[in-house]
Amino acid sequence: MSVSSTHAPCEELLLTRETPVQRRRVRAAWLFLTPMLLCLALVAAWPLLRTFWFSLTDANLADTGGGTFIGFSNYLFHNGSSWSGILVDPQWWNAVRNTLHFTVVSVGLEVVLGLLVALLLNIKFTGRSLVRALILIPWAIPTIVSAKIWSWMLNDQFGIINHLMLSLGLIDAPLAWTADADLSMWAVIIVDVWKTVPFVTLLMLAALQMLPNDCYEAARVDGIHPLKVFWRVTLPLLMPALLVAAIFRILDSLRVFDVIYVLTSNSSSTMSMSVYARQHLVEFQDVGYGSAASTLLFLVVAVIALLYLYLGRRQLEVRS
């Protein structure tokens, strides 16, 4: 701290006043940013704008540029007697429902489990760093691979999960985890939770280690019950980190694709918004309609992301 304060005037001179040096640095900064900005413009901004445009055309995959402008007909269209378009497609609303169901349940479970595991691993014990490394394994396994491993474990005839549950007497007959419409969403959630709890745990552990020690000392001296300390001290202090983790996971879950595609393919009981959009884009080759679905998904994610950025900025302002 003292080092930076004694150097502050010097820094001021170098970095903020309009000097030739500073002007040169700003010019260099923009030059240094240009390759990255160009790259993001090419792979993110321009394709996104094209997707918006495609959603207003009847383009197909063979000739994406050849579509004609049809306004909002991909979204909603009245042909005199009935409505058509994505906004009245029951399949789309089914995908929206599935995605929301998946997001709420899996993010909820991940945050709760991640917090519990982090509290457990925050206790000092021999072999802690090994345990911490080992619980990272599910995070490192490619989603496709973990979906395949779990679909083998959840296999209706030969899977170990059914075998275990049968021998423990939990069920009378094997369950068709990935085929049964009532169970398949649970199968997807089980795999996703398994894969992402380590990530949430890591964030929570990092946050736990930043908590001030003196509060806990005081609480222990006063003989306050640990559970009460958790509810009154730990949880409120962890809230910002918990929210960040939850928002990261919510944004990820809303665009879920891999695990569903591999585990249950195009089954309508688990189809997410991303799976729906890709099905129309690539399998049905209907770029206009698929882009409309992608645009709607983008809007949902953008609203949540903006909310997050807004809240984050507010919090920064409050803190400073």
Partner 1 sequence: MSPRLLKKALLRLGFWCLIGVLLLYAVFPFYYAIVTSLKPSSALFEVSYWIHNPDFSNYAAVLHQASFLRAIGNSLVVALCVVTLALFLSLTAAYALGRVKFRGRGTVLMMVLGVSMFPQVAVLSGLFEVIRALGLYNTSWALILSYTIFTLPFTVWVLTTFMGQLPHELEEAAIMDGASPWVTLTRVLLPLLWPALVTTGLLAFIAAWNEFLFALTFTLTDTQRTVPVAIALISGGSPHELPWGLLMAASVLVTVPLVILVLIFQRRIVSGLTAGALKG
Q: Scan residues 256-315 and list those touching partner 1 (CB under 8 A).
A: 257-258, 261-262, 273-274, 277-278, 281-282, 287, 290-291, 294-295, 297-298, 301-302, 305, 309, 312
Main-chain dihedrals φ then ψ at residue 23, nearest 5 degrees: -60, -40
Residue 40 binds partner 1 (CB under 8 A): yes
Beta partners for residue 78, in sequence order: 83
Whether residue 115 contacts residue 204, with contact meaning beta carbons closer than 8 Å, is answered with yes
DSSP 78: E
Site for partner 1 in 114-173 (CB under 8 A): 117, 120, 123, 125, 129, 131-146, 148-150, 152-153, 155, 157-158, 160, 163
Residues 173-212 that bind partner 1 (CB under 8 A): 194, 198-199, 202-203, 206-207
Provide the minimum distance between the beta carbon of 215 and partner 1 in the complex, in angstroms, as a whole number.
Answer: 20
How far apart are CB 225 and partner 1 at their closest, in Å? 15
Closer residue to partner 1 (CB): 185 or 281: 281
Decide if 55 contacts 292 (C-beta within 8 A).
yes
Question: Of residues 1, 2, 4, 9, which one binds partner 1 by CB under 8 A?
Answer: 4
**Does 25 contact partner 1 by CB under 8 A?**
yes
CB of 80 vs partner 1, minimal distance in Å: 30
> Under a CB-based contact definition with an 8 Å cutoff, are residues 55 and 285 in contact?
no
Residue closer to partner 1, measured from CB, 154 or 185: 154
Check residue 100 for interaction with partner 1 (CB under 8 A).
Answer: no
Residue 64 or 76 having the CB closest to partner 1? 64
The amino acid that residue 69 corresponds to is F
Minimum gap (Å) between residue 37 Cβ and partner 1: 7
Closest distance of CB 304 from partner 1, Å: 8
Beta bridge partners of residue 63, listed in sequence order:
60
Q: What is the DSSP string of 259-307?
A: HHHHHHTT-TTT--HHHHHHIIIIIS--HHHHHHHHHHHHHHHHHHHHH
Interacting residue with partner 1 among 16, 79, 81, 82 (CB under 8 A): 16
Q: Which residue type does 87 have?
A: L
The full DSSP string for 150-168 is HHHHT-TTT-HHHHHHHHT
56 membership: H or E segment, kind and range: none
User: Burial, 109: exposed, middle or buried (Cβ in 10 Å; 0-12, 13-18, 19+)?
Assistant: middle
Site for partner 1 in 218-237 (CB under 8 A): none
Nearest residue (CB) to partner 1, 7 versus 314: 7
Site for partner 1 in 70-99 (CB under 8 A): none
- Under the binding rule (CB under 8 A), the answer on residue 10 touching partner 1 is yes
Regarding 101 and contact with partner 1 (CB under 8 A), the answer is no
Cβ neighbourhood burial of 224 (10 Å; 0-12, 13-18, 19+): middle
